[in-house]
Structure 1
Amino acid sequence: MTTANFAEVLRGQALRRGQREALVDGEERWTYAELDADVDRHAAALLAAGVTPADLVGILGRNSATYLLELLALARIGAIAVPLNWRLHPSEQSYVLRQAGITALAYDDEFAGLVREVDADLPLRVLVSHGDVLERGALRLTDLLAAVPAGTRVPDAEKDRDDVHRLLYTSGTTAHPKGVIHTCANVAANHRAQVLELELTQADRILLSAPMFHVSGLEAPGLATFVAGATLVVAPTTSPADIGRLVETERITGLVLAAQILFGILEADPAPDLSSLRYLLFAGVAPSVRRQVKERLPHVRTVDTFGMTELCNGVAYMDAAHEVEKLGALGAPFPGVHIRVVDEDFRPVPPGVEGEIVVRGEKVSPGYWRDEEATRRSRRDGWFLTGDVGRLDADGYLWFVDRRADLIKSGGENIASAEVERVVASHPGVAEVAVVGVPDPRWDEVPKAWVVARPGSGLTEDDVRTHCEANLARYKVPKHVEIVEALPRNDSGKVLKKVLRQQGTASAGAAGSAELAGGAGR
């Protein structure tokens, strides 16, 4: 059997870089030697609680050193970790726990009520509380740790490349969440790629701000920080104030960040010192927004990316050499990854031609946990079908067009909602936008934009339309614009376009009938 256990990385770093700082969480700090020893303690504590290598172990918690230590300890034991989305309703949580077959669960005090509310018939054999609230016979982690003898060592379980390392459940915008399998080989391939693509070294100090139940928290670069021998700093919240403070005080060199949080940091008064930053990783941002960020932070590499949970995070990052020249592209494929764009007959299309993006390589998940049908539907001839529409240019750089489901078909023309969103987002008064197709009696579908205005901008619907008319073909200009306080999102923060379509369909019916009677055109 090969040795493909991620926890072995810590053994090597404890030997080579034992006194270098590995982990920071508030006032607590660990060197690599201390981190490796603490992972042993946590592994021994979990074993004493009854966790075995055969268990699937759920974790309900906010980002913390304890969460990280448990993930590393589970890898050392050889159990399968299942980071759980704490935003889910108890009924949804029960579904995930049952579908995964979770037999052990660790939780923060904050989520004790959720543990209490999940299905009482679930076969949870081991429960561990990170705090003091003991639900359903849970054991207290601090008590388990206190009973571990000093100097305890737990050997790293022998793992093969194809063994399951963890499950991450997708957000489930249209159906139940699906458990994406990440094998030991998937994780190792991603870590190598992160170190290479982000040029990570032991001098880096990476901020962990995205939730660890999300692939961007765990793998962008997330745990790859330890592979580079660098320092991982845990952010307690995603508030711009907290993120800005940590970037300044901990001299952060890189992080993944939502654009709205970044603008909150840039607009803070007084502004934090961001001179230590080397890169910012954020996806799905309009080129105009990325240009604004580059103007404000010219020393920072702005990294666009294409990725998803099924790909163990990103499979393309924009490199520093082309971030200006190819503004709007998502980058070139990672080492060990192949990306194609294919037509409806699964034939590769020429450069510049749009089609579905398909991917194969070491980072691609082998499928969905206990769901052979979903796995089968998402594969063809060894390729993973992303469901995204894009194009490759002559240099092999990937350009995103839209989700296939989000293409708007209006009067025989295809309109990419992502293109309209990019234009709307470039207006200085726009904070967020989502565009979907809504029914229209004359054109079948027309674009409608839901827009969140920046505070104090005084943005109006006419402002949005005028801006679009100056930057888009007439048929692509949103026929309907609605200024809203917030966009509907699922528990992972993704915009629920299905909800917007339902709202748009309901509101478009009467208005469309009246307009058709009046003979309106475009």
Structure 2
Amino acid sequence: MRNAGLGSWPHRRARMAPKREAFTYNGVSTSYGEVAARTTKLAHQLRELGVRQGDRVAYLGQNHPSFAETMFAAHQLGAIFVPLNFRLSPAEITYQLADCGARVLIHAPSHVTEHPRAISLDAYEDWLSAGSDEPLDEPVSIDEPALILYTSGTTGRPKGAVLTHANLLWNTFNLMIGVDVATDDVALVAAPLFHVAALTQTLLPTFIKGGHSVIVPRWDVDECLDVIQGYGVTWMFGVATMYADLAASPRWPSADVSSLRVLLCGGASVPDAVIHAYQERDLVFCQGYGLTETAPGATFLEAADSVRKAGSAGPPVFFGDLRLADTGEIEVQGPNVTPGYWNDPVATAAAFTADGWFRTGDLGRLDDGHLHVVDRLKDMFISGGENVYPAEVENAITDHPDVVEVAVVGVPDTRWGEVGRAFVRPREGAVVDAVALREFLLPRLAKYKIPVHVQIVDELPRTGSGKVLKPALRGLPL
């Protein structure tokens, strides 16, 4: 095949195992042979709308097999796939569509858009079925752009991180080396697919190995437990919040999770209490570290070390390297690292050191070659001349048995410069008292690290990828 990119994957996999289940959604399964046929028809339909090599094809909607079909079809033509965060406002969506210059938008009917070449999923099946089944084999190099993924945009306008086919291929290799993905694996795809980890740490490795991906539209604890038991799910990816909610479910102690072989977690530092909740069930809980710009795997804690090094994000991935700058900032290099940001040479130049290492903006420390992520460089605050790392404080607070989740930010203080403010989400049915919580922390943290302000909340604001949106918390009045 002249197509060396992801667009060739459905056909390469179909010629090996055409009848094997590729995707299941809402009880309906699609085989690898069917995925190959459908993506060819879809690619022809996209070409009828003028899509050519290098053009952008956007997708807006919750998890659905059409997400993967659109991506593979775009890649058959050498086009660039742009998955959009369905939680964004119409103005934010409009900005990103304009910024990437999307030629076509495929979208869920719940998301109305003014794009001139928009295809609603209501019409998707009829539109796809009208496509030609003539084989396509456009020349696509692995060094060409495959994805534009917009960063969370916690400050200013979001940037479009470009990932090439090579970036995605090397990340897939790294993941399969770390996890030993097998052809009989069943993956639960519950994290949003517009988030790089759900796509590249779960769906793509499962696809290339010929495994079975069970796709659910959104994260729901009860549905997750039902799917794990009903389909014999062997592995999944989630962010810390997802795993905290799962372990806090009243169904958790009696849930049948015996099929699970490994749980992958990333996106933010994971509290020790969450890790231990899974290890107590004899489940392998493996944390990794990465960013959208690293496709995303930069480090990974393999199963063999998941207990001995619990809390660590592991050593660098097989095909990748990591170092710490004098400031403690984590810097990454490897074939999985983005070449830069879409149409933004200034941001691209600022993201790399003079000798070509990607600057993550995260602080870390190394222990026997294993990375411990201390905090975001910008999240650290100084109280009375002492550095305070919110992740450390959050980890101590979640040791409290009635706390499910917490976010700590620095806020101005006339005496100390800055002090901590904790937003605490209690376990369902539990009551957390602010004074008692600070007393709980006294033997666990230095006094200057203990938050002066404690606020009990029902939920925390989040980015589209599930991370807590700390800038929104900093702006709340005391």
TM-score bucket of the superposed structures, by smaller chain:
over 0.9
From 156, 163, 175, the counterpart of 1:175:
156
From 287, 290, 313, the counterpart of 1:307:
290
Cα drift, residue 225 of structure 1? 1.1
From 108, 125, 129, the counterpart of 2:120:
129
Query: Matched residues in 2 for 1:102 and 1:3: separation?
Result: 22
CA contact (8 A) 2:3 2:76 kept: no
Q: Does 1:391 align with 2:374?
A: no
> Relative to 1, partners in 2 of residues 1:143 and 1:9: Cα closer, same or farther, differing over 3 Å?
closer
SS of the counterpart of 1:109? coil
Give the counterpart letter for 1:98 in structure 2.
Answer: A
From 249, 259, 265, the counterpart of 2:230:
249
* Segment of structure 1 superposing worse, 165-174 or 210-219: 210-219
Cα drift, residue 221 of structure 1? 2.2
SS of the counterpart of 1:249? helix
> Relative to 1, partners in 2 of residues 1:40 and 1:467: Cα closer, same or farther, differing over 3 Å?
same
Deviations 1:397-455 (A, max 9, x none): 11111111111211121111110010011111111111111122222111121111112
Deviations 1:236-263 (A, max 9, x none): 3211011111111111101112444435
Q: Does 1:343 align with 2:287?
A: no
Query: TM-score scaled to structure 2, two decimals?
Result: 0.95
Give the counterpart letter for 1:218 in structure 2.
Answer: L
> Relative to 1, partners in 2 of residues 1:372 and 1:500: Cα closer, same or farther, differing over 3 Å?
same
CA contact (8 A) 2:245 2:404 kept: no
Deviations 1:351-405 (A, max 9, x none): xxxx110001011001110111111111011100001110112x31111111111
- For residue 51 of structure 1, what is the aligned residue in structure 2? 51
* Segment of structure 1 superposing worse, 45-54 or 356-365: 45-54
Query: Matched residues in 1 for 2:139 and 2:7: separation?
Result: 10
* Segment of structure 1 superposing worse, 487-496 or 423-432: 487-496
CA RMSD of aligned residues (A): 1.8
CA contact (8 A) 1:162 1:184 kept: yes
- For residue 457 of structure 1, what is the aligned residue in structure 2? 430
Cα drift, residue 2 of structure 1? 7.4
SS of the counterpart of 1:357? strand
Cα drift, residue 309 of structure 1? 0.4
Q: What are the ranges of 5 or more consecutive residues in structure 1 without an aligned counterpart?
A: 117-123, 132-139, 345-354, 508-522
Deviations 1:201-231 (A, max 9, x none): 1010111111121112211222121111211
Deviations 1:57-76 (A, max 9, x none): 11111111122111111111
- For residue 147 of structure 2, what is the aligned residue in structure 1? 166
SS of the counterpart of 1:7? helix
- For residue 285 of structure 1, what is the aligned residue in structure 2? 270
Query: Matched residues in 1 for 2:334 and 2:169: separation?
Result: 12
Cα drift, residue 108 of structure 1? 1.2
Give the counterpart letter for 2:88 in structure 1.
Answer: L
Query: Matched residues in 2 for 1:187 and 1:198: separation?
Result: 16
From 387, 393, 396, the counterpart of 1:423:
396
Cα drift, residue 46 of structure 1? 2.2
Deviations 1:289-347 (A, max 9, x none): 2112210x20x210111111011112111111211221211001111111001114xxx
- For residue 313 of structure 2, what is the aligned residue in structure 1? 330
> Relative to 1, partners in 2 of residues 1:424 and 1:108: Cα closer, same or farther, differing over 3 Å?
same
From 197, 209, 212, the counterpart of 2:178:
197
Query: TM-score scaled to structure 1, two decimals?
Result: 0.87
Query: Matched residues in 1 for 2:33 and 2:320: separation?
Result: 34
Query: Matched residues in 2 for 1:268 and 1:77: separation?
Result: 48
Query: Matched residues in 2 for 1:303 and 1:269: separation?
Result: 23
Matched residue pairs, number?
A: 473
- For residue 407 of structure 1, what is the aligned residue in structure 2? 380
Query: Matched residues in 2 for 1:218 and 1:129: separation?
Result: 22
Cα drift, residue 159 of structure 1? 1.5
Q: What are the ranges of 5 or more consecutive residues in structure 2 without an aligned counterpart?
A: none
- For residue 440 of structure 1, what is the aligned residue in structure 2? 413
- For residue 9 of structure 1, what is the aligned residue in structure 2? 9
Give the counterpart letter for 1:215 in structure 2.
Answer: V
- For residue 32 of structure 1, what is the aligned residue in structure 2? 32
Cα drift, residue 156 of structure 1? 3.2
Query: Which of structures 1 and 2 has the bigger CA Rg?
Result: 1
Cα drift, residue 31 of structure 1? 2.1
Query: Matched residues in 2 for 1:288 and 1:494: separation?
Result: 18
Please show how residues 367-378 of structure 1 align to structure 2 within 5 Å: 367-378=340-351
Give the counterpart letter for 1:273 in structure 2.
Answer: D
